[in-house]
Amino acid sequence: MEPEWDDFDPLNLPLCENILFCSQAVYIQRHLENKSYISQTGVTGLSILSTLPSISFSKSFPIDFMHLYYINIIPAMFNHFHGQYFHSKIETSSPDTQ
């Protein structure tokens, strides 16, 4: 069982290792019906690059600028600045009963 996101110490985060990426990819290739695991890990299969011994997925492919900033942070900041960050869908979609 994997730890919850709030169980991590932000000052001492675990490092990703190449063996973890490869083992997740092998597991997914053997259990393609496990869609929730694919969604959790973001891994959909074993890459052809995994056959190269000089490639380490955790070190060779860092998070790129687009995924780090434009997809994750910018929408969150936009919602926060417009007072929508802490609202749930239920709160924003319910009609006024005045």
Residue 49's domain spans which residues? 18-82
pLDDT at 96 over 60: no
Residue 12 inside a domain? The answer is no
Residue 38, pLDDT score? 81
Integer CA distances (angstroms), 44 to 3, 11, 68, in order: 21, 30, 20
39-91: pLDDT as tens digits: 887 778 888 888 888 888 878 877 667 666 777 777 888 888 888 877 655 45
Work out how many domains the chain is built from and give that number.
Answer: 1
d(CA 92, CA 20): 40
3-state secondary structure labels for all residues of 34-84 = CHHHHHHHCCCCCCHHHHCCCCCHHHHCCCCHHHHHHHHHHHHHHHHHCCC
Residue 61 inside a domain? The answer is yes
Query: Which among 21, 68, 28, 17 has a CA at the least distance from the CA of 49?
Result: 21
Which of 11-20, 74-83, 89-98 has the least mean pLDDT? 89-98
Between residues 8 and 4, the one the model is more confident about: 8
Residue 89 inside a domain? The answer is no
d(CA 44, CA 62): 18
Residue 63 inside a domain? The answer is yes
Between residues 98 and 32, the one the model is more confident about: 32
Over range 1-10, report the average pLDDT. Answer: 66
Residue 92 inside a domain? The answer is no
